[in-house]
Structure 1
Amino acid sequence: MASSLAPLLIILSFFFFSLSRALPREAVFDAADVLSDSGFVSMALTLEIVAETLLEQSPSATVFAASDSAFKKSGQPSLDLLRFHLSPLPLTPSSLRLLTAGARIPTMLPGQSLTVTTASSDRVTSINNIKLTESPIYDDGFLLVYGIHRFFDPNFQFNSRRPSSDSNSSCSAKNHTAGASDSFDQAIQTLKTGGYSAVASFLGMQLSGVVEQSGITVFAPADDVVMNRIGDIGEYPSFFRRHVVPCRLLWNDLVNFADGSELSTFLEGFAINITRSDGVLILNGVPVFFPDVFFNDRVVVHGVSDVLAAQGNALHENALNVDDEENQFDPSEY
């Protein structure tokens, strides 16, 4: 197993920053200067005004900057509309390209998200049916700014052809069925090319061909995080089981859970607690930084910034010490 985890692919850049870090004021003003020089004068001035209120409260952000002609046509946007154009995630071009049509991007406007509308034939990313500049106008690794030709519409509705989600908040593990190898193969290939090869390996070895009728949801830490956090091969089964929920939960399902809700996992006694902080969804203290990395009719994957640990030390110790025999996926158990 160790050899299968050794080759690490390109890691998405936004997993490397510390949550305790706040965006420095200097970065915001540098971004405003670059925006102004690039012909986005109105957004540059607006960014300087709202920096302390919005951006300096977050360790990272992506700004979708409307053009001067958009300001001229629509006037100065409200604070809520500005929040709708800011995401707390540092969305690099490579991470945006991994998001398929229908994927949701959280914004700093509570309860509101943007929707990826990029078609497979498009060379540039489209959000809410508005194309972004092909490359960021500004990018320091934590703060990224893309240009758009008009403001996003908060009432935009995506005509989704995504499979419907019959999510079950209790997520009880039962009613396994076979015949889902194609669904797993698709998920595994996407994860391997997106910096989640460790989780892809677990998925292939422990779940391929075995899935519940209600599907599964995988909360996937990036490769470097996994390799740094687990060293004993005996911990691998319990590690994987606590990151998998036995029901299919898309991003729009997750955001509808109230704070304090719990999701049961395949690791007996281990639950995932849902909370929020500044509009970011938090699972056992770990932010969801890449919603809907992958989804099909049976499997949904969300990227998380760290390994999910139990909320209580006693439960955590119990989870890590479950016998290996009990930690193996066995279809006959269900």
Structure 2
Amino acid sequence: MASSLALLFFIPSFVLSSLCHALPREAVFDAADVLLDSGFVSMALTLEVVAETLLEQSPSATVFAPSDSAFKKSGQPSLDLLRFHLAPLPLTPSSLRLLSAGTGIPTMLPGQSLTVTTSSSDRATSINNIKLTPSPIYDDGFLLVYGIDRFFDLNFQINSQRPSSDSNSSCSAKNSTTAASDTFNSAIQTLQTSGHSAVASFLGMQLSGVVEPSGITVFAPADDSVMSSIGDFDQYPSFFRRHVVPCRLLWNDLVNLGDGSLLPTFLDGFSINVTRFDGVLVFNGVPVFFPDLFFNERVAVHGVNDVLAAQGETFPENAKNLFDPFEF
């Protein structure tokens, strides 16, 4: 894979425009007020201080708020440690429950991820072996805040049965006994139950039985993004081919890609440009909403905030003229 990746030396203007809708200051202060009323006084005050520096750089975020006793024990955290407690994603309880143990959650500290450590017997979500409050202390759909009883450890590591990213980062072919139907059935079921039915239909109708020796990666926009972009998705397979990379890449593989890396897709002539904006990893200007939404030994699926378009491309109301429904 490394030999096929080209490097660019600029961030396209559409990357900036796609991320320009930052969290409103009012939402941050509302969250701080709720934290104050909920007994998280230290984090409430800290949130107000760092709001402009950190949270207002992202269109959405999840805050993991340490308790007052954690602040008393550890003292005022550094800016880097605070960034480690902020994820540039709106992680709802339902989305967190879908994440399997070992899944990495990106943070606002560049190059550092949190790790899901929830086991099948746990009722509460656990990250870096620290349980979150069962429900968010604050949730307005874009900014969510969970309570934790101590600070996350920057040096946390876990021994997991999760497949090693090193064996897949080059997308080398490997032997597998998994049947193609089994490979897709599990992915389709997960997509259908997580608001990605359009992409699930595409996998079922167009890609079943077609698995590259090195696997595939699917960047899955939610149904509302798909429908608002192209209308009747069943007629436009080429739209979906641009969201599928002929190589299985887990989130840990993606975060190790260099800025300007180009990922080839199943749509001839269409590549996905990997860049970072304020430490947030984006693909053709679109951030990942749900890393490692699904993965097995042949398929990896990542939920994205919007459809992937080429630079300057839009999807007009007469989008049906852009696609040949019989080209697949």
Give the SS at the match of 1:247.
Answer: coil
One-letter code of the match for 1:68?
D
Q: Which moved more, 1:211-220 or 1:230-239?
A: 230-239
Residue 227 of structure 1 pairs with residue 227 of structure 2:
yes
- The residue type paired with residue 26 of structure 1 is E
State the partner residue of 2:131.
Answer: 131
- Residue 113 of structure 2: aligned partner: 113
Q: Which residue of 2 aligns with 1:6?
A: none
Q: 1:149–1:118: structure 2 CA closer, same or farther, 3 Å change rule? A: same
- Give deviations 1:1-57, integer Å, cap 9, x for gaps: xxxxxxxxxxxxxxxxx8432222222222112112211111111111111211122
Q: Compute the displacement of 1:238 (Å).
A: 0.6
Equivalent residue number for residue 52 of structure 1? 52
Answer yes or no: is 1:23 the counterpart of 2:23.
yes
Q: 1:38-87, CA deviations, whole angstroms, 9 ceiling, x for partnerless residues? A: 11111111111111211122222111000111111111111100000011
CA distance in 2, matches of 1:147, 1:33: 14
Equivalent residue, structure 2, for 1:32: 32
Residue 310 of structure 2 aligns with which residue?
A: 310
**What is the TM-score of this pair, normalised by structure 1?**
0.85
Deviations 1:150-171 (A, max 9, x none): 10011111212112343355x6
* Aligned equivalent of 2:168: 167
Shift of the alpha carbon at 1:235?
5.3
Distance 2:142 2:23 in 1: 7
> Quick check: 1:69 aligned with 2:69?
yes
Q: Secondary structure at the match of 1:212?
A: coil
Extract unaligned runs of 5+ from structure 2. Answer: 1-17, 315-320
Amino acid at match of 1:258: G
User: Within the alignment, does 1:85 sit opposite 2:79 as a pair?
Assistant: no
Contact 1:259/1:275 (<8 A) preserved:
yes
- In the alignment, which residue of structure 2 is the partner of 1:180? 180
1:15 corresponding residue in structure 2: none
Quote the Cα distance in structure 1 between the aligned partners of 2:220 and 2:128: 26
Q: Deviations over 1:179-198 (max 9, x none)?
A: 22212111110000000011
Separation (CA, whole Å) in 2 of partners of 1:226 and 1:85: 31
CA 1:233–1:304: 2 relative to 1, 3 Å: closer
Aligned: 1:291 with 2:298: no
Residue 205 of structure 1: how far off its partner (Å): 1.1
1:261 aligned onto 2:257 = no
1:42–1:201 distance in 2 versus 1, CA, 3 Å: same
5+ residue gaps, structure 1, are 1-17, 315-319, 329-334
Aligned counterparts of 1:125 and 1:271: Cα–Cα separation in 2: 36
Identical amino acids, percent of aligned pairs: 81
Amino acid at match of 1:301: V
Distance 1:235 1:168, change over 3 A: farther
Partner SS, residue 191 of structure 1: helix
Aligned AA for 2:202?
A: F
CA distance in 2, matches of 1:191, 1:57: 29
Number of matched pairs: 304
